[in-house]
């Protein structure tokens, strides 16, 4: 039995006559009992039909309703007279005989619903559930639950609005607090029907309202796209062209315009109730998407001819590989992800090695088909990376949350970094000539944006602190310089001076030209991600 | 002994210019003999304008009296201010835009020109305080200005300039033609 009351009768009557399907009728009666939508639509239609035949009750109810009805109609002053005139023939149907009503029923069964454009009719059932599940299974995802998302043509909102205006009076009469928001949405009804069917097909995988794995169903209806067009003339503000949207008639924009437009204006431009469509919606390809998985770790870079990210100049690849690619390849294949975004705590130049505990990095893996890995399995992935190349090494590889990733970038400026530079001096040196450097503490540098990056960064003078330095004599023209610095210090420029644009610099300190031959990052002092014991 | 070691070290001396920059020259700027300019173009297209070692200012142990970036009543290169990654507000320079005027102690004045088209990013204010930088390190700390050519002109702007070999040829011809 459908959970309908006497006051639903006029709504049911009006909507069936307007060419709405049985489920859309339930929606506008604000029926929120999910089972009512799940039963076969022809059953529902039959029940609705029988329901409006119960004339006796209807009469009694009607007379009892007269008072609130009047109050209501006096409030809805914005209703134009033309609409009222239009409604009259529809109301006449109410008083027709059983036979006439049955004719209406026959017609409804074969035609496409003017409201949901067939979505709650033939596009909603076991066949569709099978199609969804076949697609999901073919893509070989690993998941415990799934969420069904539905994308509907924007013009459905216009039709919904038209229908709302058509029965607004009757719905409000049903309950004074009921409003347009209380009408069950097509999307909602679709999910109520489909979720159980999909669960059944997937042998028990729960279809829930929130899940990392999303299966998207999309419908379009090209024939009625022009339904929205009048809105652009009435509310041009809502339809500003945007770069990446192919049509201005997005669902959002249409909803916004419908909130703004007056009922009178709407009814001037759009039929009420909406006209009957010639055919059903077209289902689009089913889209599966797993939310990103985030992983983090630390990497060493042992090679002086390896960029951190692919190096492309004038569209041409400069180096055959990169740190991120060497790390990403085994991870992508383990997680079967479509792509990745790599980020790290700072970066080193192509000719700089990163030693010690390595540099923290994090990766967003896009649409991973597999997402659950045990600690042992993560260790195996790490091993695969480390065996694949001797140019890099990864440690502390782990799955992290999106939120935790921000810890890597937090306070990046305050962090310290340790370096070792091999320095050349133009003048011949002895150990005594350089040992004073060991005593320099917290040396503040004024660094103009280095010439080598000035083409793409703003010109500025930044103050950076070298906390301490130590020297190790090599020969009369070479020594190793260890530095502990504030993050963001340009070490190469400190050594060679960058045309005097970093001051003080090592040339000034040693009173001779100096140059940097090799640079190693010894440590990046960031305590994230947490270390994983070997 | 010291001498040998010195020359040995010079031979293998690394240099920032050698690593990252290409040297381009304009000889006899505006027809004025020996007023040679050297443009150091970084691999990132940015250009540093410097005096070539053959420029008269750097000859015969001359001293510098003044350096003036005020190139006309209305225009001072010191007023150049750039902001943001896109370097908004930069003065735009053409090949023959004057950058500064340098007065030597014998009261001869030389004008240094941009030599390339592009946006002026900075001038070297250090040489105002320490003019000797210009004499001692003309191709590094004694640079005149930094100019950023348009991306699409980064190759073509040096077409009218001489390569190092071409410039050396000009210089050796010059010394032959000069009376002994
Ligand atoms: Zn419908």
pLDDT number for residue A316: 84
Q: Residue range A447-463: average pLDDT?
A: 96
pLDDT at A315 over 90: no
Out of A448, A451, A496, name the one closest to residue B46 (CB): A451
Give the Å distance between the CA of A79 and the centre of ligand 1: 25
Going by C-beta distance under 8 Å and a sequence separation of 6 or more, which residues neighbour residue A455?
Answer: B42, B44, B45, B46, B148
Cβ A428–B2 below 8 Å, yes or no?
A: yes
pLDDT number for residue B57: 96
Give chain A positions within 8 Å (CB) of B14.
424, 515, 517
Q: Is B48 on the interface with A (CB under 8 A)?
A: yes
Give chain A positions within 8 Å (CB) of B126.
500
Give chain B positions within 8 Å (CB) of A495.
none
Q: Residue range A308-327: average pLDDT?
A: 88
Q: Residue range A55-72: average pLDDT?
A: 44
Give chain B positions within 8 Å (CB) of A456.
44, 85
For A168-184, letters b (16+ CB in 10 Å) and e give bbbbbbbeeebeeebbb
pLDDT number for residue A54: 78
Q: Which residue has the higher pLDDT, A525 or A44?
A: A44
Q: What value does the mean pLDDT of chain A take?
A: 88
Q: Is B134 on the interface with A (CB under 8 A)?
A: no
Residue in A426, A448, A451 to test binding to B, most B beta-carbons within 10 Å: A451
Residue A94, judged by CB atoms within 10 A of its CB (0-12, 13-18, 19+), counts as middle
Pick the residue from chain A with its C-alpha nearest to B11.
A426
Q: Is B46 on the interface with A (CB under 8 A)?
A: yes
What CATH architecture does domain A292-408 belong to? 2-Layer Sandwich (3.30)
Positions in chain B short of pLDDT 70 = 1-12, 178-180
Give the Å distance between the CA of A273 and the centre of ligand 1: 13
| Chain B closest-CA separation from residue A455 CA (Å) | 6
Give the Å distance between the CA of A120 and the centre of ligand 1: 5
pLDDT number for residue A275: 93
Q: Average the pLDDT over each of A64-68, A416-420, A464-468 and give the range with the smallest value.
A: A64-68
pLDDT at A413 over 80: no
Q: In chain A, which residues touch B (CB < 8 A)?
A: 424, 426, 428, 448, 451-459, 476-477, 496-500, 515, 517
Q: Is B141 on the interface with A (CB under 8 A)?
A: yes
Cβ A428–B6 below 8 Å, yes or no?
A: yes
CATH among 3.30.930.10, 3.40.30.10, 3.30.70.3190, 3.60.15.10 for A416-524:
3.30.70.3190
Residues B144, B149, B154, CA angle at the centre, nearest 5°? Answer: 125
- Listed by start position, the domains of chain A span 6-65+80-287, 292-408, 416-524
Give chain B positions within 8 Å (CB) of A429.
none
State CA B146 to chain mean position distance: 9
Q: Which residue has the higher pLDDT, A1 or A200?
A: A200
Q: Residue range A435-439: average pLDDT?
A: 98
pLDDT at A476 over 70: yes
Out of A453, A455, A496, name the one closest to residue B45 (CB): A455
Q: Same fold for the domain at A292-408 and the one at A416-524?
A: yes
Residue in A500, A507, A516, A519 to test binding to B, most B beta-carbons within 10 Å: A500
Q: Which residue has the higher pLDDT, A409 or B80?
A: B80
Cβ B46–A426 below 8 Å, yes or no?
A: no
pLDDT at A499 over 70: yes
Going by C-beta distance under 8 Å and a sequence separation of 6 or more, which residues neighbour residue A491?
Answer: A419, A421, A483, A485, A516, A519
* pTM for the whole structure: 0.78
Question: What confidence tens digit (pLDDT) does each residue in B122-146 have?
Answer: 999 999 999 999 999 999 999 999 9
Residue A51: band (very low, low, confident or very high) from pLDDT cuts 50, 70, 90? very high
pLDDT number for residue A242: 77
Residue in A454, A477, A501, A517 to test binding to B, most B beta-carbons within 10 Å: A454
pLDDT number for residue B12: 65
CB–CB of A273/A505 below 8 Å? Answer: no
Cβ A454–B124 below 8 Å, yes or no?
A: no
A98-110 vs A9-17: helix crossing angle, rounded to 10:
60
CA distance A428 to B20: 25
Residue A78: band (very low, low, confident or very high) from pLDDT cuts 50, 70, 90? very low
What structural domains and CATH numbers belong to chain B?
21-71+91-150 (2.40.50.100)
Cβ A454–B85 below 8 Å, yes or no?
A: no
pLDDT at A487 over 60: yes
Question: What confidence tens digit (pLDDT) does each residue in A225-281 have?
Answer: 999 999 999 888 888 887 777 788 999 999 999 999 999 999 999 999 999 999 999
Q: A353 forms bridges with which residues in the sheet? A: A520
Give chain B positions within 8 Å (CB) of A497.
140-141
Q: What is the ipTM of this complex?
A: 0.92
Residue A521, judged by CB atoms within 10 A of its CB (0-12, 13-18, 19+), counts as buried
Cis-peptide into A407, omega within 30 deg: no
CB A505: neighbour CB atoms within 10 A?
A: 20
For B60-73, letters b (16+ CB in 10 Å) and e give eeeebeebebebee
């Amino acid at each position: 039995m459908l959970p309908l009351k006497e006051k639903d009768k006029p709504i049911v009557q009006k909507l069936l006559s307007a060419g709405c399907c049985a489920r859309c009728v339930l929606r506008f009666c604000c029926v929120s009992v999910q089972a009512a939508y799940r039963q076969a639509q022809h059953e529902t239609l039959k029940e609705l039909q029988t329901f409006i035949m119960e004339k006796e009750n209807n009469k009694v109810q009607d007379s009892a309703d007269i008072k609130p009805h009047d109050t209501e109609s006096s409030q809805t002053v914005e209703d134009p007279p033309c609409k009222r005139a239009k409604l009259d023939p529809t109301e006449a149907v109410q008083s027709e005989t059983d036979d006439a009503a049955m004719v209406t029923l026959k017609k409804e069964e074969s035609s496409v619903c003017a409201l949901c454009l067939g979505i709650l009719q033939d596009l909603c059932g076991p066949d569709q559930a099978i199609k969804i599940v076949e697609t999901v299974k073919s893509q070989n995802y690993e998941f415990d639950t799934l969420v069904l998302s539905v994308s509907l043509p924007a013009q459905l909102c216009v039709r919904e609005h038209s229908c709302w205006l058509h029965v607004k009076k009757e719905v409000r009469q049903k309950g004074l607090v009921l409003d347009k928001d209380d009408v069950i949405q097509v999307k909602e009804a679709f999910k109520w029907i489909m979720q159980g069917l999909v669960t059944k097909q997937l042998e028990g995988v729960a279809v829930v309202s929130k899940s990392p794995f999303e299966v998207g169903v999309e419908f379009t209806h090209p024939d009625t796209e022009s339904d929205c067009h009048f809105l652009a003339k009435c509310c041009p503000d809502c339809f500003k062209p945007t770069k990446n949207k192919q049509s201005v008639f997005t669902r959002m924009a249409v909803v916004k315009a419908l909130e703004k437009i007056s009922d009178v204006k709407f009814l001037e431009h759009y039929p009420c109730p909406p006209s009957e469509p010639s055919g059903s919606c077209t289902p689009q390809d089913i889209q599966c998407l797993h939310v990103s998985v985030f992983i983090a770790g630390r990497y060493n870079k042992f090679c002086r001819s390896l960029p951190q990210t692919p190096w492309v100049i004038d569209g041409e690849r400069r180096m055959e590989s990169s740190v991120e690619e060497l790390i990403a390849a085994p991870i992508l294949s383990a997680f079967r992800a479509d792509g990745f975004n790599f980020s790290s705590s700072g970066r080193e130049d192509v000719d700089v090695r990163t030693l010690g505990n390595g540099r923290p990095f994090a990766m967003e893996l896009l649409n991973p088909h597999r997402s659950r890995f045990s600690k042992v399995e993560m260790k195996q992935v790490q091993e695969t990376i480390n065996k694949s190349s001797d140019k890099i090494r990864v440690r502390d590889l782990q799955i992290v949350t999106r939120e935790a990733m921000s810890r890597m970038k937090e306070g990046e400026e305050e962090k310290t970094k340790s370096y070792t530079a091999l320095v050349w001096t133009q003048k011949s040196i002895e150990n005594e000539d350089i040992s004073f450097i060991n005593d320099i503490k917290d040396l503040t540098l004024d660094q103009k944006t280095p010439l080598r990056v000035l083409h793409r960064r703003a010109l500025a003078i930044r103050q950076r602190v070298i906390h301490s330095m130590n020297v190790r004599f090599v020969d009369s023209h070479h020594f190793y310089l260890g530095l502990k610095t504030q993050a963001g210090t340009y070490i190469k420029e400190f050594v060679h001076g960058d045309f005097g644009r970093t001051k003080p610099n090592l040339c000034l300190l040693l009173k001779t030209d100096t140059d940097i031959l090799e640079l190693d990052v010894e440590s990046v002092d960031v305590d994230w991600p947490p270390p994983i014991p070997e | 002994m010291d001498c040998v070691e010195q020359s040995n070290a010079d031979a293998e001396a690394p240099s920032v210019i050698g690593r990252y920059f290409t040297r381009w020259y304009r000889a006899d700027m505006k027809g004025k003999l020996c007023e040679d300019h050297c443009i150091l173009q970084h691999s990132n297209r940015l250009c540093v304008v410097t005096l070539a070692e053959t420029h008269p200012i750097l000859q015969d142990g001359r001293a510098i009296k003044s350096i003036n970036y005020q190139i006309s009543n209305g225009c001072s290169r010191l007023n150049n201010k750039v902001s943001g990654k896109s370097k908004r507000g930069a003065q735009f320079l053409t090949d023959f835009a004057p950058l500064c005027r340098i007065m030597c102690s014998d009261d001869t004045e030389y004008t240094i020109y941009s030599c390339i088209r592009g946006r002026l990013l900075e001038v070297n204010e250090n040489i105002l305080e320490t003019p000797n930088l210009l004499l001692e390190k003309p191709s590094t700390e004694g640079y005149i200005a930094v100019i950023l050519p348009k991306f699409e002109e980064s190759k073509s702007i040096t077409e009218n300039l001489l390569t190092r070999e071409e410039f050396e040829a000009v210089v050796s011809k010059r010394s032959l033609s000069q009376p002994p």
